[in-house]
Amino acid sequence: MQTPAPLRLILLGFGNVARAFIPLLASRSNWLTREYGVLPIISGIGTRRQGYFVHTSGIDAISLARFSDPLQYFSSTLQPVEDAFAFIERGKNVGASILIELTSLHPQDGQPALNHVRSALQSGLDVITANKGPTAYAQDELQALSRQTHTQFRFESTVMDGLPLVNLAQYTLPAVDIYSFRALLNSTTNLVLSLIEQGHNLTEAIEMAQQLGIAEADPSYDLNGWDATLKTTILANTLLGGHITPQQITCEGIRDLPPETIRTAAQAGTPIRLLSYAVRKDGHVTAQVTPRPLPSNDILQRGTGTTGVISLDTEAMGTISLIEHAPTLLQTAYGIFSDLVTIVRHRNTETQNGI
Ligand SMILES: NC(=O)c1ccc[n+]([C@@H]2O[C@H](COP(=O)([O-])OP(=O)(O)OC[C@H]3O[C@@H](n4cnc5c(N)ncnc54)[C@H](OP(=O)(O)O)[C@@H]3O)[C@@H](O)[C@H]2O)c1
């Protein structure tokens, strides 16, 4: 067997998702070598408070996953570089070809993650991100930049963790013509509403979502509808061909819903959920995120606890619904892994075609 080609990655942001990604990548490392002839190597890990570390030769994923704290291993053996941009540049210089952007979400403008992604694509790195900000605020720009720089920009796990939505539309259901979608896209509000229905108060419910690691670092982004709004923007633009911004979405959160209203609706068989809806009409895409009682026969009623659901209304395939049952960090990590595989496949196809 030929020596596998190194597939060097740098990870910006090393919180819950990145820590779940490393063991998943390690467990699929031999598979990547067998299927695609590549060996995943981590060349850098960077975070805002702990510093930005680049390893000249890198550590293969299997070896790195053996450390209980891979970031601590990097920080105890390497000198940090100055900032995220120096990290990207230095990563590129040691041979990294993919940035995995996993910093915290800033829902108001998607920064500084948006600048990290811009900088990496401009440097010729492919980018995978689970951070909704860059895609929600600048999808058109980033996709144009990636075409210009012959790089790939992938964001599968920004919306429903590992559930293939971008890949579904791009590869599995090409030209299916999606008119509209209805969806429950925010696990935290699903869980919080379910827990309030069961008698918990809002504070307890938020704490439970945080303990599961699913709530945003600032849970008000979930409760005020911003997380769902950014996801809805991404899907409206990706699935319906829209060009909308988060500000163009009508958004209302769940924070001000009286617990009694939530419990009464559930008892009547029409539980309230934070509903994302987007539609394309006469070439114009509009979207909204609002709490709505779900009718009793609605497939979206499957969205209890952290379970997410989406129904797509299409021309060629009628209505298609997908349910992601109680996703955990593993599913988010898998979404990143699936983007990695897409990038590798695409590179292999280009090599075969002599591009
Ligand atoms: N958790 C999920 O289930 C899930 C699902 C889908 C998508 N996402 C998205 O994935 C991303 C990561 O989520 P997470 O749960 O892993 O977050 P997290 O646990 O809060 O970790 C965030 C990481 O980003 C770093 N960071 C924050 N701002 C930074 C900056 N300006 N420059 C460099 N590093 C920075 C933090 O470093 P310090 O600790 O040093 O500040 C930390 O290492 C977020 O955008 C989130 O919205 C999460």
- Which spans in 127-224 are helix H? 132-148, 157-160, 166-167, 187-197, 202-211, 220-223
CA-nearest residue, atom 30 of ligand 1: 48
What's the confidence (pLDDT) of residue 216?
A: 67
Q: How far is the CA of 310 from the centre of ligand 1 (A)?
A: 25
Q: For residues 76 and 7, what is the distance between their CA atoms, to the nearest angstrom?
A: 24
Distance 299 CA to ligand 1 centre (A): 32
Residue 175's SS3 state is coil
Q: Which atom of ligand 1 is nearest to the CA of 329?
A: 3
189 lines ligand 1 (CB under 6 A): no
Residue 305: predicted pLDDT: 82
C-alpha 16 – ligand 1 centre gap (Å): 7
Q: For 122-160, how does the pLDDT look when each residue is reduced to its tens digit (9 = 90+)? A: 999 999 999 999 999 999 999 999 999 999 999 999 999
Q: What is the largest CA-CA distance in the chain?
A: 65
pLDDT at 211: 86
Pocket flag, ligand 1, residue 163 (CB < 6 Å): no
- Residue pair 257/291 in contact (Cβ under 8 Å)? The answer is yes
Give me the pLDDT at residue 245, please: 96
Question: Which residues, given as ranges, of the chain have pLDDT below 50?
Answer: none
- Mutation choice for ligand 1 from 81, 83, 104, CB with most ligand atoms inside 8 A: 104
User: Which pLDDT belongs to residue 222?
Assistant: 92
Nearest atom within ligand 1 for CA of residue 105: 45
Residue nearest to atom 18 of ligand 1 (CA): 15
- Asked if residues 8 and 15 have their Cβ atoms less than 8 Å apart, the reply is no
* Candidate from 24, 83, 103 with most ligand 1 atoms within 8 A of CB, to mutate: 103
CA of 47 relative to ligand 1 center, distance in Å: 9
